[in-house]
Amino acid sequence: MDRLVAAINGKTSDRIPVFCNLLDQGAKELGVSLKEYYLNGEHVAEAQLRMREKYGYDNVWSLFYVGKEAEVLGCGKIAFANDGPPNVEDFVIKTYDDIEKLQVPDDISGHPAFQEPLKCLRILKREVGGKYPICAYITASMTLPAILMGMDRWMELLLIGPADVRDALLTKCSDFFRKEITAYRNAGADVLVYSNPFGSTDFISMKLFKELSLPWMERDLKPVGSQGVVYYCGSARFNNVIEQVIERLGISVFYLSPMDDIAEGKKIIAGRGLCCGVINDIKLIDWSKEDIRNEVRRMIDQGMPGGRFLFGTLVMPYAIPEENIRAMLEAAYEFGRYEKAE
Amino acid sequence: MLAQVIKAYNEAIFDTDRDRALAVVRQAVDSGVSPEDIIFKVVIPAIELMIKSISENFDANLAQHFMTSQIAAEVTEQMIPRFKKSPEIVGRVVIGNASGDFHGLGKRIVIGCLKALMIDVTDLGLNVPPERFVDEAIAHNAEVIGISSMMVHTARGENGCLKVRQILKERNLEDTIKIAVGGAPYRFDHELYKIVQADAWAENGITAGKVITDLIREVRK
């Protein structure tokens, strides 16, 4: 935790914080199937603790899989794979009439689908609370409809559908977000990754970003505040909206896309927050150790000068060989040492 | 007259304004522009313009890709029944999401573009088993199988493109049926299409129109 706090405050510690987002790998670690793994919060917590200990990075996750949020909102069918993350198989919203029927639970903490994540969080808090940041993943109102009705049908409703239906859905998703972030905070999550690909102009035009995304993000965050909130657009780029996000939302931690220019991102943030440089972790499957080392060095050379920098990954694919995970982390620990940069 | 229609249609497309684009087409037809000219001189060049813009690093966003393809498909559907004679089909394609994949947006963008490019396209849906890709390609006499994957494990997995390739090989169909792939993992690793043994990949749904047209030409050569 000290490394992260130092980086947020523009101070130095022994090295930059390194966030490594290993999720599905937990099943391999415990020697169980992915389905068995994700059905039990104790499994997820145990694997998160073991993997952090084994590799030495600086965070743990309470995230199971993105479809968990859809389960809390009524999805009853998740497709489990043997070699990758589970997927929503049956969408809650099949017709516009289903939007009216969609129920946001009053008490998310008491919802059956939230019990295993809560169990996981309690263990993480007990074991490493205050020592390592505990991360939670929360989908923004503008993006949540994609896992409730499918991305293509959401895009259709968003761009050419009836505005009243769109706004009714967004209102419910925003209400859900506020309750979910509160539930996660109450359960001990410190780092709240606010996931919103629709907060990137890779997804929508700047005009729509200003007219829809920003106001809906304001609605999501205004009553609950941006403390601990991390701006993240999936793998989509967002350097060109950072200024507006700081001004309008007060968010000060930015988890860039691997496609974003890290130096440019840091320049825009200009010391007003923490910049997280994110590696293109899909390439870690096939890169050589030398490729990995060179890429980590390139990223840290761009992001580390001036401090307030964190090295991170996306959601690491299951197929990445363990030795390549180690190669990435060892390079990040080596090149991210503060005394070396100064 | 036609130049004005092209300009107004392109502007509407880039603004993702479906109603305006359809109104431009309606007014053009009412003013005497032929349905054939609407498709071949307005709609298809608009797709080609977007492909060119993307290749020149113009930051077209996903919403523009989606709307370009949906409007193109809608206009094509309206215009074809009014053609003096049925248009020549450029080729046939079957397309679906890889086994285990439930992300249909990219596929839908591709389908819209292919329809406007006069390619006969059969949508196999989500989570398609590899055997079905091949069986349907044979049944529809398709030159190309399109496989969309939004996740690394569905792109690289043993029941994805690799298995489709294996079946094509076993049935000695590799010269007559080509494989095109697309989706997020391919954008993050431009060599991935070779690893999964596809013939080609497309960076986005709009560019897929050109990639697939080129594969059809290769088969028909």
Q: Which residues pair with B182 in a beta bridge?
A: B148, B202
- Which of A81, A203, A258 is opposite residue B62, by nearest beta carbon? A203
Write down the pLDDT at residue B15: 85
Mean pLDDT of B144-161: 96
Residue-wise pLDDT for B90-147, tens only, equals: 999 999 999 999 999 999 999 999 999 999 999 999 999 999 999 999 999 999 999 9
β-pairing, A134-139 with A191-195?
parallel
A256-276 residue pLDDT tens: 999 999 999 999 999 999 999
Of A241, A253, A138, the C-alpha closest to A189 is A138
Q: How far is A11 from chain B (nearest CA, A)?
A: 33
Which residues of B fall within a CB distance of 8 Å from A201? Answer: 59, 61
Distance between CA A33 and CA A10 in Å, rounded?
Answer: 42
pLDDT at A67 over 80: yes
Q: Does position A341 have pLDDT exceeding 50, yes or no?
A: no
**Short-list A325, A311, A227, A236, CA closest to A266:** A311
CB A7 within 8 A of CB A19: no
- Distance from C-alpha of B211 to C-alpha of B206, rounded to nearest angstrom: 9
Domains of chain B: 2-82 (1.10.1240.10), 91-220 (3.40.50.280)
Of the candidates A39, A50, A181, A13, the residue with the CA atom closest to the CA atom of residue A127: A50
| Nearest neighbour of A84 by CB, restricted to B19, B59, B152 | B152
Range of the domain at A72: 2-341
Write down the pTM of the prediction: 0.93
Distance CA B121, CA B110 (A): 10
Query: What ipTM was reported for this prediction?
Result: 0.89
Most A CBs within 10 Å, among B20, B57, B65, B66, to test the A interface:
B66
Return the pLDDT at A339: 76
The neighbour count for residue A2, using CB atoms within 10 Å, is 12
Condensed to tens digits (0 to 9), the pLDDT of residues A8-35 reads: 999 999 999 999 999 999 999 999 999 9
- Name the domain count of chain A: 1
Unique residue bearing structure tokens 């700047």: A206
Instruction: Establish if A318 touches chain B: CB-CB under 8 angstroms.
Output: yes
Contact B90, B213 (CB under 8 A): yes
B89/A226 Cα distance (integer angstroms): 55
CB–CB contact B16 A150 (8 Å): no
Tens-place pLDDT, residues B159-168? 999 999 999 9
More confident residue, B129 or A1: B129
Looking at beta carbons, which residues of chain A come within 8 Å of B101?
87
Cα separations (Å) of A11 from A5, A332, A338, B214? Answer: 8, 18, 10, 55
Average pLDDT, chain A: 95
Determine the pLDDT at residue B205.
86
CB contact (8 A) between residue A156 and residue B70? yes
CATH number of the domain bearing residue A275: 3.20.20.210
Residue A20 to residue A6: CA distance in whole angstroms: 18
**Quick check: B54 pLDDT over 80?**
no
Residue A81 to residue B100, Cβ atoms within 8 A:
yes
Cβ contacts below 8 Å, chain A against chain B, sum to 93
**pLDDT tens digits along A74-104:** 999 999 999 999 999 999 999 999 999 999 9
pLDDT score of A342:
44
Helices (H), B39-79: 44-55, 62-79
Going through chain B in order, the beta strands assigned E by DSSP cover 91-97, 119-123, 144-148, 178-182, 200-202
Is it the case that residue B60 has pLDDT exceeding 90? no
pLDDT band at A148 (very low <50, low <70, confident <90, very high): very high
Residue A163 near chain B (CB below 8 Å): no
* A152 touching B (Cβ < 8 Å): yes
